[in-house]
Amino acid sequence: QSALTQPRSVSGSPGQSVTISCTGTSGDVAGYIYVSWYQHHPGKAPQLIIYDVSQRPSGVPHRFSGSKSGNTASLTISGLQAEDEADYYCCSYAGSYTLVFGGGTKLTVL
Amino acid sequence: QLQLQESGPGLVKPSETLSLTCTVSGGSITSSSYYWGWIRQPPGKGLEWIGTIYYSESTYYNPSLKSRVNISLDTSKSQFSLKLSSVTAADTAVYYCARLMAGRAARPKNFDYWGQGTLVTVSS
């Protein structure tokens, strides 16, 4: 079970859009709809922002959206705001009731 | 509002067993709609799934940790616990407990509530 592959860092200016990719295999991302994304501000608990590939929990701004194509899932943040600066992690069901996280992506708002 | 709180020693000696407990309040720990899990984050590194337990007490572990991990449920106290044996410095991390939603076929699908995390350092 290998970690899903995410870019180590991405950046964007306020108001712009950024996309974070999460690449797995047929045994995880490509095989199931259970891909989720978490926002993690250091020192705080991670927060669920996307589940089931593209669903937003109540209270999460519409600026956050998710999608999937084949073995790659993506998180897009539009209209970047300063408070979006955080670490972002994808997570996928990986069969046999196991889960796997991505390595994490640090988003910098310039 | 569901709340989870980790508790346990912040310092563990090498080769000993790390033991943490997660106390759940504001919700039922016996619902078939949820799993309960442990995740860790070593300093400067990403999140790692450790394992999960279902209300039926079925357990599922990260293959890389499976030989050293045990997760148990105490419904009378609304708690679930983690034991990680034979620890080394590589097990130093912030440990989080969390609730997972169950999807079709009772597959665990996403974490929706997290504890604040507790730092456990492995050192003599």
Contact A100, A2 (CB under 8 A): yes
Does A107 score more than 90 pLDDT? yes
The answer to whether B101 contacts chain A (CB < 8 Å) is yes
For chain B, give the secondary structure using H, E and C: CCEEEEECCCEECCCCCEEEEEEEECCCCCCCCEEEEEEEECCCCCCEEEEEEECCCCEEECCCCCCCEEEEEECCCCEEEEEECCCCHHHCEEEEEEEEEECHHHCEEEEEEECCCEEEEECC
Digit-by-digit pLDDT tens for chain B (124 residues) are 999 999 999 999 999 999 999 999 999 999 999 999 999 999 999 999 999 999 999 999 999 999 999 999 999 999 999 999 999 999 999 999 999 999 888 899 999 999 999 999 999 9
Size of interface A-B (CB pairs under 8 A): 75
Q: What pLDDT digit, counting tens, does each position of B105-119 carry?
A: 889 999 999 999 999
Q: Please report which confidence band the pLDDT of residue A92 belongs to, taking 50, 70 and 90 as the band edges.
A: very high
User: B13 vs chain A: nearest CA distance in angstroms?
Assistant: 24
How much is the pLDDT for A1? 75
The answer to whether A110 contacts chain B (CB < 8 Å) is no
Q: What number is the average pLDDT over the span A40-49? A: 95
Contact A29, A53 (CB under 8 A): no
Do the Cβ atoms of B52 and A97 come within 8 Å?
A: yes
Lookup result for tokens 């996403």: B110
Do the Cβ atoms of A98 and B62 come within 8 Å?
A: yes
The answer to whether A103 contacts chain B (CB < 8 Å) is yes
Residue A47 carries which side chain, given as an amino acid letter?
Answer: Q
Rg of chain B taking only CA atoms, in angstroms: 14
The answer to whether A100 contacts chain B (CB < 8 Å) is yes
For a pLDDT cut of 90, what percent of chain A falls above it? 98
How much is the pLDDT for B82? 98
How much is the pLDDT for B106? 87
d(CA B120, CA B28): 27
Q: For residue B25, what are its two tokens?
A: 């309040």
